Amino acid sequence: MKKTMAIAMLALALPAAGDSLGIKPGLWDLTTTKRTLDGHDLSGMTSAMQQAMAALPPERRAQIEAMTKGRLSDAISNNMSLCISPAMASADRPVLDPSGRCQPATVTRHGNKMSFAVSCASKDGQANGKGESVINGDTVTTVMDMTTSDAQGTHVLHTESQMVWRGADCGSVKPLDQQTQPQHP
């Protein structure tokens, strides 16, 4: 379930990437403003996990980051930087995880709003969700609800996030569609 939840959280956070909606290629800062699981606020858990990681010896922290291919910090953080490639920006569909486990089921647009439904599958379980992104200039606000089902049961994840465009140059941040994904058996 942890893998499914991490994928679902990434899918929740990333809004549409279509020229018709004004998403620009380049560097975006993503802030998760609210995250609940089965109605319980996860922000306290996020802070505790961040503190626990910070308290680890540097060698152990580096070892954990290497084992998770640097994604652990992203999974427990409320803030991260993302690079949207020109290909992603022109795809005119929701930006989901690059591993291909999440696919848009439906996408509808009205003005600067996009409503969508997604479906994610992995060997660990299934996740289905729906949400809405609102694009105002260089800011994208997304709200999404995702229901996950796996061996441990069914859970509902609610996420609210905001992306802010920082510029066309991504610097050292690799575009999402060009990142090497870990192999999932």
Of 34, 35, 17, which is closest to residue 26 (Cα–Cα)? 17
Q: Check residue 95 and give its pLDDT.
A: 59
- In the numeric block, the tokens 């152990």 are attached to 60
Looking at residue 147, its pLDDT comes to 93
Asked, for residue 178, whether it belongs to a domain, the answer is no
Predicted pLDDT at 65: 66
Q: What's the pLDDT score for residue 123?
A: 81
pLDDT number for residue 78: 72
pLDDT at 184: 40
Residue 179 lies in a domain: no
For residue 99, what are the contacts with CB-CB under 8 A and spacing of at least 6?
Answer: 7, 181, 184
Is residue 182 in a domain?
A: no
Region for 55 from its dihedrals, namely left if φ exceeds 0, alpha if ψ lies in -120 to 50, beta otherwise: alpha
Residue 180 maps to a domain = no
Number of domains within the chain: 1
Domain membership flag for residue 147:
yes
Q: According to the model, what pLDDT value does residue 132 have?
A: 93
Residues 6+ apart with CB under 8 A from 48: none
| Domain span holding position 13 | 2-167
pTM: predicted TM-score of the whole model, two decimal places: 0.70
Residues of the chain with pLDDT under 50: 1-13, 15-20, 181-185
